[in-house]
Structure 1
Amino acid sequence: MKVAVMGAGAVGCYFGGMLARAGHEVTLIARPAHVEAIRRDGLRMEARSFDEQVKLRADTQAQAAQGADVVLFCVKSADTEEAGRQLKPFLRDGVLLVCLQNGVDNADRLRAVLPGHAVAAAVVYVATEMAGPGHLKHHGRGELVIEPAPGSDVLAQALVAAGVPTELSPDVRGALWMKLVLNSAYNAISAIARKPYGECVHSAGVWDVMRDVVDECVAVAKAEGVRLPGDPHAVVRKLVESMPAQFSSTAQDLMRGKPTEIDYLNGYVVRRGEALGIATPANRVLWALVKLIEAK
């Protein structure tokens, strides 16, 4: 299978790298520093069960996606429309685009830019970071839940064969919202403290704040008509057990001086709460504090 990864940061490098290890033809579209290192040495995948230099292609331009059967769409949420427009001239008929992004509305926004192409939302559960140019560190997990779309069954089979637990689910919306609950509970707190999840939750009052955040998210989801799978509070408490050393993606962005996706996490909950007449003070405070730090 010919695969392009648009916006190959930590998430895209992990799933693209896993497919490349399984023999698929993968091209990472990434920032120049990563591209230069990967072209020279391959992608270093420092995973929990292996440490390898994986040979694959890398490029800085969207044109490198030309002819791809699948595009793993991994750009930051704020860049969804622009990245879609960059890809548009190079997408073949029948291509499948899979949104491996934070937030709940990226697939809809990408469909608006790329009418006529198959776009599938996906929920990502993986703890990764880019430790340096062309150097991926995998801290835990690695599952995907993908929305059914033309070609998604073939991709799911390829991912499973590559060692990526993958499920096709018609109720991706509920799973996306559950992921939004997790991100809203953890990301901003990890970013403000600049600490991993395991250290954050042991600080006085943090579990109480996270409980308030989750309650607000659940109220907004219910008003949106979203059915959350499972108990959100239990899921939030369990997450730290599987990735205690993980810094949130928001924390990683702030520590690198990059824009965050907080507008599409706690900020999204705040906006939808306002539209639906639901108060979201805990989410508003976390969103505002991250924006304040980001502005520095």
Structure 2
Amino acid sequence: NTYNALRLSGSKLICQKSTIGEMQETVIFEPKLNVFKTYDELEIKPDEYTIVLLCVKSKDTIQASLDIKNKFTDKTVVLSIQNGVENEERIASVLGYENVMGALTTVAAETLEPGIYLQKGNYGLLVGELPGNEKLAWEHRLRIDVIADIFAKAGIIIKKSSNIYYDLWSKLVWNAAFNPTSVYYEATVGQLLANSETRKEIIGIMAEVKKIAELCGFKLNEDVDHKHLSRTDVPEWYDFRTSMLQDFQQGKEIELDELLGVIVSSAEKYNYSVPYSKTLYQKLKNKLSTGLLAKKV
């Protein structure tokens, strides 16, 4: 499993990037990693600031937060690096609103096997304070600035978000469309976009998510869906399997409710019709409950 692979062999990251029509590949190998099975195994010093990167699937958010609470101090902050728009509130319900920050990645990555990962294109990390927490400080400096410096020393450049929920909703426009669709049709990103019917579904869902975001108080850029589509509809993304498809193919529970169900339930709340999202959600629910396979594209 992943724990044993990382503990015994370390990690290997294969980075692929297309430059002027040529694919460049860089391999980053970390032979020795400090790996722990549980948060309780970590040595947390109460007089030191602690940054926790919470990267679990949404269904595990509450349990992970409870595990962190066992060794929680007033100098701990949790960065939620997860898909969806509800995880920050879930963490806050356990650890306190002022101790949570939001974050998101912009990266296409696959697990080739435990401990070996493939990254396509550039990697980005966007971090932001939750509304009302913008002026929280560590050692007389804005907390987010301190955290940005810590990441920079580790060679990771982060961008600071002035409205993290806005950015999370912007990312959901892509996730809600591509992830569930890829599972239902069991297809790569390129296969979905190459088929006129599935391409139409994806475009329809992205438009619906954009509208639901507006109803929830986050009016996204008009062209956010078009930008998502243009950056995805490129040769290097053709064989990319979404994270939800990877989970499905490995027999893991998928984040259907967190990425698409939230759109359907929000639409019901605001009495707004989302036919593309609702149809796919129901079809995928049925597929998961019956084990029926959809017609592959």
Q: TM class, shorter-chain normalised? A: 0.7 to 0.9
Match of 1:199 in 2: 191
Matches within 5 A, 1:95-244: 95-115=76-96, 118-148=99-129, 150=137, 151-229=143-221, 231-240=223-232, 241=234, 243-244=237-238
Report the TM-score when normalising by structure 1: 0.82
Report the counterpart of residue 265 of structure 1 in structure 2: 259
Q: Distance in 1 between matches of 2:237 and 2:195?
A: 17
Q: 2:243 aligns with which of 225, 240, 249?
A: 249
Corresponding residue for 2:56?
Answer: 75
RMSD (CA atoms) = 2.0
2:30 maps to which residue? 53
Contact 1:42 1:55 in 2 (8 A): yes
How far residue 130 of structure 1 moved from its aligned partner, in angstroms, is: 1.9
Residues 37-79 of structure 1: CA deviation (Å, up to 9, x unaligned): 1111112222232241342211111213441721100111111
Compute the TM-score of the two structures, normalised by the length of structure 2: 0.82
Q: Deviations over 1:72-117 (max 9, x none)?
A: 0011111111111111111232112100101011111100111276
Match of 1:39 in 2: 7
Rounded to whole Å, the distance in 1 between the matches of 2:97 and 2:177 is 36
Identity within the alignment, %: 26
Paired letter, 1:77? S
SS in 2 for 1:120: strand
CA contact 1:184–1:265 (8 Å) conserved in 2: yes
Matched, 1:274 2:268: yes
Letter in 2 for 1:209: E
Give the greater-gyration-radius structure (CA): 2
Shift of 1:248: 1.0
Structure-2 change in CA distance of 1:122 and 1:128 (3 Å): same
**Aligned residue pairs, count:** 264
Match of 1:142, SS?
Answer: coil
Matched residue SS, 2:288: helix
Contact 1:198/1:245 (CA < 8 Å) preserved in 2?
Answer: yes
Out of 271, 292, 296, the residue aligned to residue 286 of structure 2 is 292
Q: Distance in 1 between matches of 2:56 and 2:284?
A: 20
Q: Given that residues 65 and 71 in structure 1 are in contact (C-alpha distance below 8 angstroms), is that contact kept between their aligned partners in structure 2?
A: no
Identify if the C-alpha distance between structure 1 residues 159 and 290 changes in structure 2 by more than 3 Å, giving closer, same or farther.
Answer: farther
Matches of 2:97 and 2:178, distance apart in 1: 36
1:91 maps to: 72
Gaps of 5+ in 2: 17-25, 130-135, 138-142, 292-297
